[in-house]
């Protein structure tokens, strides 16, 4: 795993390499093993920080030049099927055995778009074409690896993380209030936006090729982006052309896919392990790994001291049965206090998924023994695993029996009531849920932390909901499909994968996700709901696969998730930290939020009038980021 950086500016200055080196330094945690800079004409510079995983020799050094010397590339990530692709490039000579060299040769041989479609992996890359004088950026199908790009002053710039852009001279972008409004709703900022105006995230499954004119002029950068793989198109096709085999046949095929996906992700020249929570997904990955390993696989889990969220014993039982070399750590309130003041800075922009804390700690634990770890991310979105899906569908079925005119009337009354309340958080949520005219609108009322953040923000903004509209516009057979697909194109890539990338990379740990292999994704989308939801439980076919490896008695446990006990921490060890961030003077000095409403939120929580810990964590993570940016 690595970090990549780049600049373009048409002038005679030779300082771009110096700036790139400073940018690289900010990303040293992503790639502590090697560092490289290349500067070319007319005005381009590329940088790379390397975490050596495949081909530990200098043959894997980047920026990397193609054999024909036409292309220069910086690459972050892994292409797991590189050996297969290399065989198809048998006419080309290779210096080493890194996947990066295969990626560059494939692009030179097949062209960028065709090559991207061949890659099975997680990656973000940039490639300069000396002949055409173009810069291309690309990102993997699901968005496991990050890539920011945009303009600052007279620079075009890109980087794996926002912190690298901040060392560019005169980098002083304004906060994007629309993006902040999205953050208040969801706890994250969805692609293609970032917290800064004019700086974007390249969307998953996308690439962009820019000419010198487009790099230096005021062209709309987002208009230039293209998709080489569309989750919406592929999912809609698979949902509407379901798998016609039996459950046993689905189980057999899925087992083969999982075994191969895991095998590919165990290819490494450095030690590897697995993050094990004790849930269905991570237990399945751990079992597949141990089955294919000649020695005990290192497994890692954490628990919470004095918390009902502790599930470490479940992971320990699974590890004992599989025979892994298990490592566990218990997290206390003091551990959280030590970490929380700095954790916002690992994400570069506001991010408030509270499981960022245990994810960071388990990544640090894993790094003490391995450089690569596998995880179970993706199972919930693909195989109908979240409890909120079940509750939302149940409420939607009830809602469909109520006349629309009555729903509008009740919803309208609740909205009017909310307007008379100081905060009106729950009233607004109920108003939106009751008045929902489709299943996704109802789902939005359930997943939003602030249904109406404009009531708290002083500066007006217009909610951007293009992904919601895009998913809603599809014709899908079942309401459940809308929920899973919406989460796949939003929550998975902009929350789950952001969380795991920053937490793992902050500890120089590469994290791989077998369930997010695009072959598994596309097969999962084709499976009928009866193979996902059975007798009140999700992940039916995944459970059937797991039953072949681990007794049901060890895995048949209620789903709790991987969150931290934020409520008790805010009432205890994090109280003073929170109090300091939410002072009236600080809120008023910002000029972003209504200080009276923020004070009321904190007051009602402290005096146990309301369970506002989720909304408070959202506010606190923004404040922590804002005061340390």
Binding-site positions for ATP: 275, 302, 375-376
For 6, the token pair is 């780049």
Cβ burial of 465 (10 Å; 0-12, 13-18, 19+) is middle
Using left for φ > 0, alpha for ψ between -120 and 50, and beta otherwise, residue 39 falls in beta
Residue 271, classed as helix, strand or coil, is: coil
Instruction: Clarify whether 493 is annotated catalytic.
Output: no
Q: How many residues does the chain have?
A: 629
For 395, the token pair is 């409420």
Residue 69, classed as helix, strand or coil, is: coil
Among candidate residues 157, 154, 231, the one with its CA nearest the CA of residue 191: 231
Contact 375/511 with Cβ under 8 angstroms?
Answer: yes
CA dist 569 and 172 (Å) reads 35
Using left for φ > 0, alpha for ψ between -120 and 50, and beta otherwise, residue 547 falls in alpha
Q: How far is CA 487 from the centre of its chain?
A: 11
Residue 601, classed as helix, strand or coil, is: helix
Q: What is the 3-state secondary structure (H, E, C) of 193-231?
A: ECCECCEEECCCCEEEEEEHHHHHCCCCCHHHCEECCCH
Residue 499, classed as helix, strand or coil, is: helix
* Binding-site residues: 99, 275, 302, 375-376
For 214, the token pair is 């487009």
Contact 601/325 with Cβ under 8 angstroms?
Answer: no
For 366, the token pair is 């894993």
* Binding-site residues for L-glutamine: 99
CA dist 56 and 58 (Å) reads 7
Among candidate residues 625, 579, 629, the one with its CA nearest the CA of residue 602: 579
CA dist 622 and 186 (Å) reads 13
Evaluated on CA atoms 177, 179, 180, 184, the torsion sign reads positive
Contact 285/344 with Cβ under 8 angstroms?
Answer: no
Of the residues 2, 157, 225, 493, only one is catalytic, namely 2
**Residue at token pair 């917290």:** 195
Q: Are strands 71-79 and 121-129 parallel, antiparallel or unpaired?
A: antiparallel
For 383, the token pair is 């195989």
Which residues have a catalytic role annotated?
2
């Amino acid at each position: 795993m690595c970090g990549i950086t780049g600049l373009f500016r048409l002038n005679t200055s030779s300082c771009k390499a110096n700036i790139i080196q400073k940018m690289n330094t900010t990303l040293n945690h992503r790639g502590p093993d090697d560092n490289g800079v290349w500067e070319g004409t007319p005005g381009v510079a590329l940088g790379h920080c390397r975490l050596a995983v495949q081909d530990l020799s200098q043959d894997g050094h980047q920026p990397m030049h193609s054999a024909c010397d036409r292309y220069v590339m910086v690459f972050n990530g892994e292409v797991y099927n590189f050996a297969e692709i290399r065989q198809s490039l048998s006419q080309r000579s290779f210096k080493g055995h890194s996947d990066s060299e295969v990626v560059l040769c494939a692009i030179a041989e097949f062209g960028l778009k065709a090559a991207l479609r061949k890659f099975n992996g997680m990656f973000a890359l940039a490639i300069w074409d000396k002949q055409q004088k173009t810069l291309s950026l690309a990102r993997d199908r699901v968005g496991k690896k990050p890539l920011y790009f945009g303009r600052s002053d007279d620079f075009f710039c890109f980087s794996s993380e926002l912190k690298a852009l901040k060392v560019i001279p005169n980098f002083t972008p304004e906060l994007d209030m629309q993006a902040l409004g999205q953050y208040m709703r969801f706890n994250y900022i969805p692609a293609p936006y970032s917290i800064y105006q004019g700086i974007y995230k390249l969307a998953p499954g996308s690439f962009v090729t820019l000419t010198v004119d487009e790099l230096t002029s005021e062209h709309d950068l987002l208009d230039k982006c293209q998709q080489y793989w569309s989750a919406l198109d592929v999912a809609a096709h698979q949902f509407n052309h379901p798998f016609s085999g039996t459950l046993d046949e689905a189980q057999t095929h899925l087992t083969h896919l999982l075994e191969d996906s895991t095998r590919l992700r165990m290819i490494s020249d450095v030690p590897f392990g697995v993050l094990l929570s004790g849930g269905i997904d991570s237990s399945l990955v751990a079992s597949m790994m141990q089955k294919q390993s000649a020695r005990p696989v290192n497994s890692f889990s954490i628990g919470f001291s004095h918390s009902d969220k502790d599930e470490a014993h479940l992971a320990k039982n699974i590890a004992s049965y599989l025979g892994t070399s298990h490592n566990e750590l218990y997290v206390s309130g003091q551990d959280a206090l030590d970490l929380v003041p700095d954790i916002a800075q690992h994400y570069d922009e506001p991010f408030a998924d509270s499981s960022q804390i245990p994810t960071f700690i388990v990544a640090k634990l894993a790094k003490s023994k391995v450089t690569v770890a596998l995880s179970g991310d993706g199972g919930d979105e693909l195989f109908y695993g979240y409890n909120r899906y079940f509750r939302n569908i149940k409420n939607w079925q009830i809602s469909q029996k109520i006349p629309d005119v009555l729903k509008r009337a009740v919803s309208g009354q609740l909205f009017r009531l909310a307007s008379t309340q100081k905060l009106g958080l729950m009233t607004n949520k109920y108003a939106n849920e009751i008045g929902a005219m489709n299943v996704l609108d109802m789902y939005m009322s359930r997943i939003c932390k602030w249904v109406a953040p404009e009531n708290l923000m002083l500066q007006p903004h217009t909610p951007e909901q293009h992904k919601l509209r895009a998913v809603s516009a599809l014709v899908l057979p079942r309401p459940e499909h809308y929920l899973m697909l919406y989460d796949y194109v939003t929550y998975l890539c902009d929350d789950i994968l952001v969380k795991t990338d920053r937490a793992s990379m902050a500890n120089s740990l590469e994290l791989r996700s077998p369930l997010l292999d695009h072959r598994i994704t596309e097969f999962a989308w084709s499976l009928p709901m009866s193979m996902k939801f059975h007798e009140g439980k999700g992940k039916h076919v995944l459970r059937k696969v797991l039953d072949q490896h681990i007794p049901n008695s060890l895995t048949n446990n209620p789903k709790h998730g991987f969150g931290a006990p934020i409520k008790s921490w805010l009432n205890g060890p994090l109280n003073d930290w929170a109090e300091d961030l939410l002072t009236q003077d600080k809120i008023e000095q910002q000029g972003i939020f209504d200080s009276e409403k923020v004070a009321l939120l904190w007051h009602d929580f402290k005096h146990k009038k309301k369970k506002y810990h989720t909304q408070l964590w959202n506010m606190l993570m923004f404040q922590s980021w804002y005061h340390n940016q």
